[in-house]
Chain A
Amino acid sequence: MHIDVKKEIKRSNIGRAGLSLLLLVVVIAVLAPLLSSYDPVQQSAGSLLSPSGSHWLGTNHVGQDIWSQLIYGARTSLLVGFSVGIISLLLGILFGVSAALVGGLYDKIVMRIVDALIVIPMVIVVILVAAYIKPDLPVLILLLSVLSWQGGARVIRAQTLSLKESGHVNVSRTFGASRLYVAWRHIIPDLGPILLVEFIYGVRRAVFIEAGLAFLGIGDPMLISWGMMMRDAMSFSYLNVWQWWLVPAGVALSLTIIGLTFVSHAAESVLDPRLRGAEVA
């Protein structure tokens, strides 16, 4: 397991491309106020203007600057993505590691619930719940996290089971280390690469679902989001505004997801050494 994940990702072309894309989106999100002189929610000019020197991507149907909406949309996507990624990963570690270490009936119960959650299509659950509670940003993040830890928990449990039998863990146990100490000191650090891959999966899924929900019109209408921009732009697709309104939002969303996919693919080759060398070039 002692392979440097960061090195592995940087070694492959796909990994480097993914990292660069992600870095670009992060920089844009962080520097958003510097990159645009307009407030994304304030009406700044007439509606449905074509791109010009002052409004690079024109304005939307209510006169908001599309370029500022685009760069502030990166903030929403990344905030939802990374928060859900971290929380669902923590839940996955909690249930995966504990199931493997405690074993017995507890393990059986947790794993049956995990399996059950895996076969239920989660987006539809989110739609049902969101239809009732109209989630704002924190609630949406919690909702998505609670519904997306199960895949990670299963993988983490499997890996913990094999680590549990390895030499250094046995030695630690014979020296009288408690289960909690072993989990914290030996198991979780050795799960490293798997945690990274599961985290990126979680981020990608959350970015995707957030955009989808906003596209369906569920969620906070005050939140600037790429999904919402596409939804608004779709109603005007018979005009030529899609060129600077719909397409940039869709491309920004797609590039973010592609960046995440590339990085997770490069990191996966760390987990499955049989795949290594297949595309190192």
Chain B
Amino acid sequence: MLNKRNLITYGIAFLIIIALNFLMPRMMPGDPLMAIYGDEALVAMTPEFKAQLVEGFALDKPLWQQFGAYVLALFQGDMGYSYYYNASVFNVIMGSLPWTLLVVGSSLVLSTLIGIVLGIESGWRRGSRTDRTMLAGLMSLNGFPDFFLGLVLLIVFGILLGVAPLSGALTPYSGLSGLTLLLDVLRHMALPVAALTLAHLAGGYLLTRNTMITVLKAPFMLTARAKGLSQKALKYRHAGRNSMLPVLTVTGIWLGRVVTGALFVELVFAYPGVGYLTYQALLTRDYPLIQGVFLIVTIAVLIANFAVDLLYPKLDPRVSYAH
């Protein structure tokens, strides 16, 4: 919900992000221009251009004035220029963002839904053999880092079985369109999405199962049982629905984890999203791009968390009464 406390929290988070992005390159030893603009920029650097950059960033002024210039530029939408790609950082990132959103969105939805259903089934049968097997199995799965799961899937389905493409998001120069294009996109995203979904399945499962165990002991469950409701209605409509709520509250934080996971998984599949872009930027020391990715990803996660906070009271009205 939109209260003062939340606003302050997100305000502080935003400030920490901006301050990190501002201070990191400026605290480095040596020429700050190099740390801000990366190795590539020095090649193209002329004295006039350098003077212009120093002027633009107020680098000859005290730190607080530099910060002012930095924030002003940000609010004008200027996130810097990538000399490696010869394009503005914003445009470079916007070119890869849709692919990451596609993969992250699909795996977030899939892992949450499957996790909730498994959690309901497992919690319903708590203590039984099925429950114990599922618990041990999913917790083990949780231990596999997403990039290792990705590598295993790549080797099994891509190399050994040859049923999935090894890299990329599209078959290059194939000139596909319409339905075949859609199928091509799906074929390429199948393995990265599977790796991320498997790696993040356990979170939703464990939370739902734990809540389920508590909810099953609630008095309203006894009432529902006494009314003679069917097992299915008891399990999903009464216990299940209430067990889903905690999962929804942490979706925002999970989004952060899945996005981070995507950074690694994209590298495995050379999937042209933000993660792969980050990896290349790290290799070429394209600092403006690394900073841009950091800013966009962290702020996107903040906004998602904020949205969950706003939506939650609508899903669980008890929260608004409590305050």
The interface of chain A, by Cβ under 8 A from chain B, is 13-14, 17, 112-113, 115-121, 123-125, 127-129, 131-133, 208, 211-212, 215-218, 230, 234, 237-238, 242, 246-247, 250, 253-262, 265, 272, 274-275, 277-279, 281
Contact = CB atoms under 8 A, between A and B. Distances in A.
B291 interface: yes
Interface string B266-298: 011000000000110011010100110110011
Interface in B168-200: none
Interface on chain A toward B: helix, strand, loop, or mixed SS?
A: helix
Given A124-B259, A260-B143, A274-B217, 5 more contacts: A17-B136, A121-B301, A127-B294, A128-B20, A274-B214
Given A119-B252, A279-B132, A211 B126 contact: no
Nearest to B260: A123
Contacts of A217: 279, 282-283
A116 B35 contact: no
Contacts, number: 159
Contacts of A281: 127, 132
Interface in B10-44: 10, 12-13, 16-17, 20-21, 24-25, 28, 35
Contacts of A112: 5, 8-9, 12
A258 B141 CA distance: 8
A116 B16 contact: yes
Contact of A128 (B127, B131, B285, B290): B290
Contacts of A258: 139-140, 142-144
A216 B267 contact: yes
Contacts of B118: none
A18 B21 CA distance: 40
Nearest to B297: A124
B278 A127 contact: yes
Contacts of A13: 132
A230 B305 contact: no
B266 to A, nearest CB: 11
Nearest to A119: B305
Contacts of B213: 274-275, 278
Nearest to A256: B143
Contact of B298 (A113, A124, A218, A262): A124
Contacts of A247: 152
* Interface core residue of B140, B267, B293 (most chain A CB under 10 Å): B140
Contacts of A274: 213-214, 217
Given A119-B9, A121-B259, A215 B147 contact: yes
Nearest to A255: B143
Contacts of A128: 20-21, 24, 290-291, 294
A69 B17 CA distance: 37
Contact of B260 (A14, A119, A124): A124
